[in-house]
Amino acid sequence: MALIELSGIERVFTLGDSQVHALATLDLAIDSGEYVAIMGPSGSGKSTLLNLLGLLDHPNAGIYRLEGRDVTTLSADEQARVRRERIGFVFQSFHLVPRLTAAENIALPLMLAGIDPAERTKRVDKALRDFGLTNRADHRPDQLSGGQRQRVAIARATIMQPAMILADEPTGNLDRATGEEVVRLLEDLNASGVTLLMVTHDAALGARAQRRVMMEDGHKVSDGA
Amino acid sequence: MTPLDTLRFASRAATGYPLRTALMVLAMSIGVAAVVVLTALGDGARRYVVNEFASLGSNLVIVLPGRSETGGFNPANAITETPRDLTVEDAQALTRAPAVLRTAPLTVGTSEATYGGKLRDITVVGASADYLKLRRMDLAQGRFLPAEEPNAAVAVIGAKIQSDLFGIESAIGHILRIGDRRFRVIGVLGQSGQGLGMNADEIVILPVAMAQAMFNTNTLFRILVEAKNRALIEEAKAQSLEILKARHDGEEDVTVITQDAVLATFDRILGTLTYGVAGIAAISLAVAGILVMNVMLVAVTQRTGEIGLLKALGAEGAAIRNAFLAEAALLSATGALVGYLLGQAGAFALRTVMPTLPAYPPDWAVIAALATALVTGLLFGVMPARRAARLDAVQALSKR
């Protein structure tokens, strides 16, 4: 059974009096543990696709099955729970809460899930160790380098042990060397079994994925290795 | 998200923007402090007046000549129109009423007192021996009017008269000239401070017969009656009225008022004033509430990206709403607390500047101010919090 199964997905935005098909009759199946790069020029619908996969956006038509379950019909709170437990997000601009320390940022999903503080500290400490951030635990985001910030964001995305990680241009705000480091981190996670979906317009980065989905004008134009 | 986490998250958010939080707390605290200080002032005035009345003597019933209330048609009214005057005999007759402890006839007039070439205007009060106890006055020196000699040419003077005319020398035993008569000073009243109506420090008390002779009259200004105890005040009033009616040929031509009634009226007027002042001050609390809303709306806009992130991390609408509500509640609670302390400090300052005014804020005002601050804070926090919870995650995330 596929982890992700999209069939006939459509997403239409209304801009003024014209309608833009961000996604048109899209079918896509992704298996558990895959490493998929979603590529395409800007405006091709790749970010919209990622938002849909992350349950942040709703399709106008079509069915999205996550782990065999139709998630398009879930209530907002049920979708929030699915996001919390099964999906980890990594953003181009990191999206760390500026007033919280690295450790507190990593603990956010655990706090939202209502996990008790002792267990939280244990898991955050382990994550800090795994991502080499132990001596940065009490630093606020503005005291961290770009690479460290993205590492904090990845630690946060994986702290709930999700089934998949959705990364939207994770290296977009980083220099080449730091970007390389971050991508390797994500690939290591993928190697340990987490499904990795990465939106990028960087061909070199895309080439590293096992599978590339090329988007253009809301259509999937190619899909394969 | 557990309530404790919500609270911690909200307090981190509040402390994360110190200037905004400080201004918010200041606005709310000014509102609460205004209520506390103004009600302290209003209630202080009320207590001051009530205390002043109590110092006139409690259980007091006052008899005035003439009628100020209509009691329906009475055949006697048709015959005579001028009310009979009150006399010293009337006052003595009232002592026989079972509910009455003591009475004091009272005439009042103004004259001039001279001693050693010094002259000043005085208020002459003609009274009897019981007047001192009835009015709860203190003697600083000497003794009060003797009961056994109602026609003695003696005077008891107020503290101010003593210091103005006699200086540091004791007035006791000296002869004081009042008008064209001479009186021996036998007592000096203790300092009483500024009282309602007449200042007891600037009066000279003479035996009532002497005062009447001086002013060439045989009528009284008032008869003061003291009931045996608080429960008997109404009875004393009724009995006095009955006795005087019988003495005045069945005509009810006097007015009897109780101190309690006067006191209750003042109490009511000043109590209402305090409520009014509290209401005016409460407007500033409402303004502070609107400010909370404004600040929280700005916070939502400022933190749109963060709200999007929380949604992406799986926060339910309720969690986000509660976090923002908790922040509004924290801001108003802190403001209320600071305002309470400021208000108490203000009331303390008032009491220090005006020691005679017991400017303590009433409990109801303090509780109402704190509750209003919290409720307005929460109420005005609801709209911004709901707006935050309803934000579209994708749009919120794209905003930085």
Residues of A with CB under 8 A from a CB of B: 51, 54, 56-57, 76-77, 80-85, 87, 89, 91, 93, 95, 97-100, 104, 108-109, 111-114, 156, 160
The answer, yes or no, to whether residue B34 has pLDDT greater than 70, is yes
Element containing residue B363 per DSSP (H, E)? helix B363-390
CA distance B385 to B303: 12
User: Which of B15, B313, B327, B395 to probe by mutation at the A interface, max A CB count within 10 Å?
Assistant: B313
CB–CB of B9 and A89 under 8 A? no
Chain B: give the shortest CA distance to residue A118, in Å: 13
- Tell me what pLDDT residue B196 has: 47
Which ipTM was obtained for this model? 0.93
Nearest to A191 by CA among A50, A35, A3: A35
From the list B9, B13, B315, the residue facing A80 with the nearest CB is B315
Confidence of residue A115 (pLDDT cuts 50, 70, 90): very high
Average pLDDT, integer, range B74-98: 75
Which of A83, A89, A114 is opposite residue B2, by nearest beta carbon? Answer: A114
Q: By mean pLDDT, which of A136-150, B43-57, B206-220, B327-341 is the weakest?
A: B43-57
Mean pLDDT of the residues in chain B: 86
Residue of A nearest to B323 (CA): A112
Does B321 touch chain A if contact means CB atoms closer than 8 Å?
no
CA B250 to mean position of chain CA atoms:
40
Neighbours of B135 (CB within 10 A): 23
Q: What is the mean pLDDT of residues A55-78?
A: 92
Comparing CB atoms, the residue among A97, A112, A156 nearest residue B1 is A112
In a mutagenesis test of the B interface, which of A23, A56, A120 is the best target, namely the one with the most B β-carbons within 10 Å? A56
Contacts for B52-56: CB closer than 8 Å, 24+ residues apart: B52/B195, B52/B196, B53/B196, B53/B259, B53/B262, B53/B263, B53/B266, B54/B263, B55/B136, B55/B192, B55/B195, B56/B135, B56/B136, B56/B195, B56/B196, B56/B259
- What DSSP state is assigned to residue B168? T
Using a CB–CB cutoff of 8 Å, tell me whether B264 touches chain A.
no
Q: CB distance A56–B311 less than 8 Å?
A: yes
H helical segments located in B56-101: 75-79, 88-94
Contacts of B310 in chain A (CB under 8 A): 108, 112
Partner-chain residue, chosen from B12, B311, B393, that has the shortest CB–CB distance to A99: B12
Give the pLDDT confidence score for residue B81 in this predicted structure. 53
pTM: 0.72
Judging contacts by C-beta atoms under 8 Å, the chain B residues touching residue A99 are 12-13, 15-16
Of the partner residues A57, A93, A100, the one whose CB lies closest to the CB of residue B400: A93
**Chain A touched by B7 (CB under 8 Å):** no
Among the listed residues A178, A185, A179, A166, the one whose alpha carbon sits nearest the alpha carbon of residue A205: A179
Nearest by CB: A56 against B16, B315, B393: B393
The answer, yes or no, to whether residue B75 has pLDDT greater than 60, is no
Instruction: Considering only the beta carbons, identify the residue of A80, A97, A98 that sits closest to B316.
Output: A80
**Per the CB < 8 Å rule, is A84 touching B314?**
yes
Task: Give A110 to chain B, closest Cα distance, Å.
Answer: 9
Which residues from A are below 8 Å from B13, CB to CB? 99
In chain A, residues with a C-beta closer than 8 Å to the C-beta of B9 are: 111
Put simply, whether B317 touches A (Cβ < 8 Å) is yes
Task: Give the best residue of A87, A112, A158, A161 to mutate against chain B (max B CB count within 10 A).
Answer: A112
Q: So what's the pLDDT on residue B78?
A: 52
Q: How far is CA B323 from CA A216, B2, B10, in A?
A: 40, 11, 6
Structural domains for chain A? 4-224 (3.40.50.300)
B9 and chain A: CB distance < 8 Å anywhere? yes
B187-242 pLDDT, tens per residue? Answer: 998 887 554 456 778 899 999 999 999 999 888 988 989 888 878 888 888 899 89
Q: Does B311 touch chain A (CB under 8 A)?
A: yes
Strands B222-227, A211-216: pairing is unpaired
Question: Are the Cβ atoms of A89 and B313 closer than 8 angstroms?
Answer: yes
- Region A35-62 average pLDDT: 92
Distance separating alpha carbons of residues A206 and A201, to the nearest angstrom: 8
Nearest to B207 by CA among B227, B234, B177, B186: B186
Over range B18-46, report the average pLDDT: 90
Over range A66-89, report the average pLDDT.
Answer: 93
Residues 338-397 of B with CB under 8 A from A: 393-394, 397
- Which is nearest to A172 in space by CA: A93, A114, A105? A93
In this complex, the residue of B16, B317, B318 whose CB is nearest that of residue A99 is B16
- Name the most confidently modeled range: B133-142, B334-343, B359-368: B334-343
Chain B residue closest in CA terms to A114: B1
Local structure of B199: helix, strand or coil: coil
At residue B53, does pLDDT exceed 80?
Answer: no
Cα-to-chain-centroid distance, residue B50: 6
Exposure pattern of A37-68 as b/e (b: 16+ CB <10 Å)? Answer: bbbbeeebbbbbbbbbbbbbbebeebebbbee
pLDDT digits (tens, 9 = 90+) for A6-34: 999 999 998 888 988 899 989 999 999 99
**How many Cβ atoms from other residues are within 10 Å of residue B147's Cβ?**
10
- B69 versus A140: the higher-pLDDT residue is A140
Supply the Cα-derived Rg of chain B in whole angstroms.
33
- How many whole angstroms separate alpha carbon B236 and alpha carbon B229? 10
DSSP characters for B120-156?
EEEEEEEE-TTHHHHTT--EEEE----SS-TT--EEE
Of A51, A85, A111, the CB nearest to B5: A111
Q: Which residue on chain B is closest to A111 by alpha carbon? A: B1
Query: In terms of residues, how long is chain A?
Result: 225
When comparing pLDDT for B282 and A74, which is higher? A74
pLDDT score at A55: 93
Confidence of residue A141 (pLDDT cuts 50, 70, 90): very high
Contacts of B309 in chain A (CB under 8 A): 95, 97
